[in-house]
Amino acid sequence: MAILLEGRHIAEKVKEDIRLKVLSLKIRPSLASLMVGDNSGAVSYVKSQAKAAEELGVEYQIHKLSSSSSQEDIIGFVRKLNNDKSVNGIIIQNPLPEKIDYKAVSFSMDPEKDIEGVHPANIAGIITGRAKFIPCTAYAVMELISASGINLYGKEAVIVGHSSIVGKPLVFLLLDKLATVTICHIGTSQAGKLEDHIRRAEVLVVAVGKANLIKGEWIKEGAVVIDVGINRVNGKIVGDVEFSAAEKKAAFITPVPGGVGPLTVAMLMRNLVEAARLQQG
């Protein structure tokens, strides 16, 4: 039976380290969170970010713009935050209203304050192995893999899902540790090749958003399985991996909920504290 990789416990250790770093700074780190319109999808994230900020002694500012704001208005506001010396990190809460181009808005952030690691300058840092800020979910996945104690050198690492916040950055983060990396996506599934890739994965990361896409019997004996997916099925939250069958084969597996999720906010705060450290000179 697999050992559970519980994000909550690991997050506590990460937070302990962050608290010490905050105490060693000359400034109190401050995070500006920008919401546009009703944005009900972001409410639970904002709550957990505000709670973590309070626990860690960092400032959390919530800025709300009206849903009628134009893209120029929003970009203008982001530039104000860029120029505000009391702000060390910025988060643009998703989703934005449909007419707004998220990329245009997020690319207007000062990369030094982009603690979600979505600006092209930070993406380039991941590719070149010099990242200042790693996207929080991918960062949480790396922390969980590290908690398993596995040495990634030469391991078969398979990622399912190629989004820019999870799958794509993970390719480079795992490659940096000299794992042999394969990335699967809808094309892999439609070509009927997903199962073959999963069966040889020594480290498997799944970030799709389809309940039970990955069958437990496909999991390689002794694998490390990180399930990023969040799906609501009959009122319950489940991941993308068929958990009960997978835990019988894996050596380590993340529960859903309680795996990746609790760790992402801790990684965001780690990025914020790093931003403050760099900005204080």
Point out which residues bind ligand NDP (CB under 6 A).
137, 160-163, 165-167, 184-186, 188-189, 194, 207-210, 213, 228-231, 260-261, 264
CB of 116 or CB of 247, closer to ligand NDP: 116
- Least distance (Å) from ligand NDP to the CB of residue 192? 11
CB of 34 or CB of 208, closer to ligand NDP: 208
Say how many C-beta atoms besides its own lie within 10 A of residue 46's C-beta: 16
Sorted by sequence, the CB contacts under 8 Å of residue 42 that are 6+ apart come out as: 35, 93, 94, 95
- Least distance (Å) from ligand NDP to the CB of residue 276? 23
- Least distance (Å) from ligand NDP to the CB of residue 134? 13
The SS3 call for residue 190 is helix
277 vs 28: CA distance, rounded Å? 10
7 vs 136: CA distance, rounded Å? 13
- Least distance (Å) from ligand NDP to the CB of residue 249? 20
- Least distance (Å) from ligand NDP to the CB of residue 28? 26
Q: Are 138 and 165 in contact (CB under 8 A)?
A: yes
Alpha carbons within 13 angstroms on the beta-carbon side of residue 117 total 29
18 vs 269: CA distance, rounded Å? 8
- Least distance (Å) from ligand NDP to the CB of residue 174? 16
CB of 77 or CB of 139, closer to ligand NDP: 139
CB of 58 or CB of 256, closer to ligand NDP: 256
Distance (Å) of CA 78 to CA 34, 100, 103, 106: 8, 14, 13, 9
CB of 184 or CB of 251, closer to ligand NDP: 184
CB of 53 or CB of 184, closer to ligand NDP: 184
